[in-house]
Amino acid sequence: MNMPKAGDKVRVICKDEEIEGILMPSENADSVMIKLGSGYNIGIDRKKIKEIKVIEALKEAKDRSAEKKKQAQQNPKLPNITILHTGGTIASKVDYRTGGVSAKFSPEEMEEKFPEIFKLANIKSKLVFQMFSEDMEPEHWQILAREVKKEVEHGAEGVIITHGTDTMQYTANALSFMLENLSKPVILVGAQRSSDRGSSDAGRNIICAVNFIVKSDFAGVAVCMHKRSGDDSCYIHKGVKVRKIHSSRRDAFRSVNVLPLAEVTKEGRIIPLNKDYEKKGKNDVVLKDKIEKKVEIVKIHPGFNYEIIKMLEEKGYKGIILEGTGLGHAQVNVLDEYTKNHERLLDTIKNTIDKGVVVVMTTQTIFGRVNMNVYSTGRDLQKAGVISGEDMMPETAFVKLSWLLGNYPNDSNKVKELMTKNLRGEITERTEYEEEFI
């Protein structure tokens, strides 16, 4: 059978049914792989196929290097927004060579994909790097922080960062701390479904982010993602209070221990939910982008080996974030022959702190806050020198401690003091019951 080429839109005619979709490469010579309109792939036994008709041939991508880039017409009545492109699912489409999803959209292609945003603002698009967020390192946070500062200083009224969702919360935290005195909105936007899928959430998220920048008085770092799995509206989450809590749902992000800042409807209406934020202004942003990379998150669990803490200290680590159980606990009580090593954990933590390592306790429950005053376990950890992370998520505490140690490398007392101080809205004085599990 003379097969059309991968990437063609085809109609596969079988004995009992006809299937339309995109022809994909297949490693199995006995089957034909088709990507359906839903985004899912289906394999069809060649023996059942009577005919394959090409509905639309794959159009080869134009060589943009030979073209003069098309500049969007500027409207002096509209605000200027810069989109910094970093890759991720929001900028992904099917790679018909491999059948997988790759970061392929250029900033220009994204502008063609979402024309609605040009009615709201003058859009400038810039490629910073092209990568999935799981590959990002702290150095990439620094690059982004510098790019944001540059765009704000050049007149941008807001910045949108297209970003993979896997580590978006880390980047949102990092930018929140690195960009001090920020008086413009910086909104991270991602997608759970690639932009060439019918079920993609990319368009709604970007359009909502632009609407929020244009129509609200918010200044700071935030994340814009779907409110629910439907395509009706988005939530705006404070950058230091947001977490991805589902691997694949379009509404994967939640504000933790606080309400979202706002809801943005598909009509572009802004519904304020939480007014605890800085307002837009004309302040000069201060860049503090130093990061200490020798900081680690350690999860406490039954059977935890105290030697892990000892190893980190011996390897020269400057900070440790403990993901404790419940209110911020670890196994430090000796009760029987099976718990005799618990005392060693407490001693090791104390010795590590005495040698200058900053140790912070968070809770692996995510929602709620650390309170080491309730039980003797917590009080013993405090006596050893463990700092309470209050209601910071482990990821937030990790980024904050890395940032503090980078900017105050020779002043551990200052680091400890600022670690318990609310700098960017990362610590709330009181966690209201109704603000949990939103």
For the chain, give every residue range classified as CATH 2.30.30.520. Answer: 9-56
User: What single-letter amino acid sits at 52?
Assistant: I
Residues labelled as active-site residues: 89, 165-166, 244
9-56: CATH number: 2.30.30.520
Which has the closest alpha carbon to 160: 144, 173, 174? 144
At 365, list the tokens.
């429950």
% of the chain surpassing 90 pLDDT? 62
User: pLDDT at residue 335 above 70?
Assistant: yes
Which has the closest alpha carbon to 325: 378, 272, 277? 378
- How sure is the predictor about 309, in pLDDT bands with cuts at 50, 70 and 90? very high
Q: What is the spatial distance between Cα 272 and Cα 391, in angstroms, rounded to a whole number?
A: 23
Mean pLDDT for the chain? 87
At 317, list the tokens.
């680590």
- How sure is the predictor about 222, in pLDDT bands with cuts at 50, 70 and 90? very high
Angle between helices 307-314 and 342-354 (to 10 degrees): 20
3-class secondary structure, 376: helix
| The CATH number fitting domain 295-419, selected from 3.90.1170.50, 3.40.50.40, 3.40.250.10, 3.40.50.12780 | 3.40.50.40
pTM of the predicted protein model: 0.82
For the chain, give every residue range classified as CATH 3.40.50.40. Answer: 295-419
- Given strand 18-24, what is the order of strands in its sheet? 41-45, 31-35, 18-24, 9-14, 49-56
For the chain, give every residue range classified as CATH 3.40.50.1170. Answer: 73-287
pLDDT digits (tens, 9 = 90+) for 12-37: 999 888 999 888 777 677 888 887 77
User: pLDDT at residue 197 above 60?
Assistant: no
pLDDT digits (tens, 9 = 90+) for 372-385: 999 999 999 999 99
- The CATH T-level fold of domain 73-287 is Rossmann fold (3.40.50)
Alpha helices, DSSP H only, in 179-293? 202-215
At 17, list the tokens.
């049914």
Q: What is the pLDDT of residue 284?
A: 93
Given a contact cutoff of 8 angstroms between Cβ atoms, the answer to whether 160 and 210 are in contact is yes
Residue with tokens 């309170």: 371
